[in-house]
Amino acid sequence: MAFSGFRDASSGFIAALRKRPRLRRRRARKAAATPAAANTSNGNAATTTIASLAPLVGIISEYLDEQDINHVKNAWRLADEAHLGQFRATGEPYITHPIAVTEICAGWKLDADSLCAALLHDVIEDQDVSKQEIAEQFGTDVAEIVDGVSKLERLEFATKAEQQAESFRKMLLAMARDVRVILIKLADRLHNMRTLGAVGPDKRRRVARETMDIYTPIAHRLGLNAVYRELQDLCFEAMYPNRYHVLNKAMLAARGNRREVLGKISETIMAALPAAGIEAEVSGREKSLFGIYKKMLAQKKSFSEVLDIYGFRVIVHTLSECYLALGTLHQIYRPVPGKFKDYIAIPKLNGYQSLHTTVVGPYGTPVEFQFRTREMDRVAEEGVASHWLYKDDDVTLNDLQKQTHQWLQSLLDIQSQTGDSGEFLEHVKVDLFPDAVYVFTPKGKILSLPRGATPIDFAYAIHTDVGNQAVASRINGDFVPLRTELKSGDAIEIITSPAARPSAKWLNHVRTGRARSEIRHYLRTVKSEESIAFGARLLNQAFDQLGLPHPGDDDPTWSKLAKSSGAESREEILADIGLGKRLAAVVARRFAPDNPIMATTAAAVDEITANRNAPIQIQGNEGQAVQLATCCGPLPGDAIIGGIRFGHGLVVHMEECAQAQRQRAREPERWVPVMWATNTARHFSTRLDITTINERGVLGRLAAEISAADSNIVQLSMQDEAAAAAVLHVTLQVDSRNHLAQVIRAIRHIPQIQKIVRVKG
């Protein structure tokens, strides 16, 4: 072992710790204060409880060698010394907590370094034992894990929520580097939840809510189903104690009432499976209290109306026997239609595999059965911990481990696109939803996505560039909008275009954290670049009107202007101009020889008014910095005017637009003259309302004429006005007002067309 020399020196290191004045003074204070408080609330618990290492040693002796066991004992000695004089809210010596956490980890058969880190997981946070000291004694792996588990209590944050979000981000990123971090943290949270009764009701509810929001879905995502179910029940008890106890009492009563039915089913199955040549282990089980509570809420039923609260688990030797046992069961009891799920052929996101079916048992009672192999059962209960990644460096990763690695890698991808810890946590929470849909790529690969995901999520799951350039999608061969919700079994194809770009509206339709993070990152980056470019155009125009030379990028006035206005750089000033946060004329005057400071609104109005004869040229492809108003839909050729909206840049309206006229009357200083450039972009959207006689073939003739006029139909809907007439709402892509006129002339020749109106709004 690489750190055996450090292990042999453990006694000397601990002796040195005892001599540290800071640690000695802290322990003296704790010894004087904490036991009294503990005895006051918990009798003599603080003095009678003995923290024994024997149970832990008994567990790890089954799979660790003598050298590793001694390594764990050394960690216990350091933890015991560090937590001396410290007590839990229960009144027990604090060392009982790290020992209990380590016993949970040992139950997963984690390696010696993980167990050492579990014993030491609070010494950095609580006792000022440094990360370097742990590394010298137990190695860098243990030190990194302990540091990843530790919270950020010593750093200054504006709010408790910000501190919590940053702590979660640190923990999750440490988990992405080493999954042992989250396994220890889950064990830590599990033991804290088991002993939560010692704290007040408010703290119980707060900790339970935090656990339910973050740690419970992480346990599910990693396949730790036993931990997942226990955490759910413990949170349920802490948040709704009365509901929990009433439901628990009802469960105990129902267990006795249905014992005869369950016993009869068990006997029947135990006799039928051997008769079919299947050796199996059959065990009865009941659903968790929280699972039953959720079903009662979802189905709006009372406890007596929820019948399928009991089930059976059938564990066989081979995969083929799972299906044989299922067939045998269906010969005995009638299956409930729509209640069969094959998670063996298509495993869940967390690697869970099993066959699920619900049958109608004796007296009409529905009973759920699960069929799985022993290996599947181990994965179902222990998840990623069932195939420990660190036992052998040469081990081949199974599908569960690969999926776990992919999800952990996605955390790093989200982190690279996200600067704010709260936003990062928001993205991760989205990805922790356990429900999933399974869809196919064009090459037949199965992809798992959260329920409610859309083709946009699918595109970003394939590659960032595919998502950024997506323009359309096909599901099962049919064109559908990008906002369409995916269903399991769908075959998805994404159509891309190099000229396409993400839209802020996509954020309303995506479910995965990766897609949301990538879209926001693109919009922030592109919006900034476009705003800088547009701001430079506005500022150069202001320089020309004032007769001032254009300053260079290295002009010292830029730094003075940035410092006086609170900006960080020249680019930020230009971006603010492009977004309407600063007025170009005011900034330009700062470069004048007399350098007047015009910071008042009145002065800004004077500058804008003086320059009304210099319209800004609009091309229509400026991106986020210049937007065409949806209230009037201006086209090249229309008379237009521009309003600078704070934070949104320049919004272009038709001059006759009523909404623009109202806004201009309220804030005239924010309106500037604009004109269409000679080289405008192509494909502007506009809408026509077409009244037509409702005859066969009209729609086909209309589409043909629009296509012949070199236009394209983006959207079409129909509204019946009478039996013989209808109104078609058609959204078209045209190049200009003149192009639209050509399209209107083309379709006016159709005999059935009665009226054509351009919709301006």
How far does CA 437 lie from the centroid of its chain? 16
Give the Å distances, CA to CA, from 105 to 95, 404, 588, 710, 743.
16, 19, 65, 68, 72
Whole-number pLDDT of residue 346: 80
323 Cβ neighbours under 8 A, 6+ residues apart: 355, 371
438 Cβ neighbours under 8 A, 6+ residues apart: 346, 446, 447, 448, 449, 488, 489
CA distance 526 to 524: 6
Residues of the chain with CATH 3.30.460.10: 245-386
Picking from 749, 751, 755, 697, the residue whose alpha carbon sits closest to that of residue 730 is 755
Reading phi first (left if > 0) and then psi (alpha if -120 to 50, else beta), residue 665 is in alpha
Residues of the chain with CATH 3.30.70.260: 684-759
Pair 731, 690: CB distance under 8 Å: no
Q: Which fold has domain 245-386?
A: Beta Polymerase; domain 2 (3.30.460)
Q: Which helix (H) or strand (E) holds 167?
A: helix 160-177
Picking from 715, 683, 702, the residue whose alpha carbon sits closest to that of residue 743 is 702
Rounded to 10 degrees, the C-alpha dihedral 346/351/352/353 comes to: 50
Q: How many residues does the chain have?
A: 761
CA distance 332 to 269: 9
Pair 459, 453: CB distance under 8 Å: no
CA distance 88 to 93: 6
Give the Å distances, CA to CA, from 742 to 305, 706, 711, 755.
67, 9, 10, 16
Q: Where are the alpha helices (DSSP H) in 547-600?
A: 556-565, 570-578, 584-589
> What would the two tokens of residue 714 be?
């983006």
Picking from 739, 743, 617, the residue whose alpha carbon sits closest to that of residue 673 is 617
Whole-number pLDDT of residue 602: 41
Which residue do the tokens 């078609």 mark?
Answer: 728
Pair 574, 538: CB distance under 8 Å: no
The dihedral of CA 272, 276, 277, 279: what is its sign? negative
Question: Any idea which residues carry the catalytic annotation?
Answer: 125-126
User: First and final CA of the chain: distance in angstroms?
Assistant: 74
Rounded to 10 degrees, the C-alpha dihedral 356/359/365/366 comes to: 30
Whole-number pLDDT of residue 320: 92
Strand partners, 258: none
Could you list the mean pLDDT of each consecutive 10-residue stretch along the chain, which spans 761 residues? 39 45 44 40 42 85 90 91 86 91 89 91 78 88 84 48 63 69 88 90 89 82 84 92 89 72 83 90 83 83 73 91 93 89 81 88 82 87 60 47 60 57 55 65 81 89 89 88 86 86 82 81 72 79 77 81 74 76 74 50 44 66 72 89 74 89 84 83 84 85 88 80 76 89 91 89 64
Which residue do the tokens 């309206």 mark?
Answer: 653
Q: Based on the number of CB atoms within 10 Å of its own CB, is 182 exposed (0-12), middle (13-18) or buried (19 or more)?
A: buried
- CATH of region 684-759: 3.30.70.260
Strand pairing report for 616-618 and 310-316: unpaired
In this prediction the pTM is 0.54
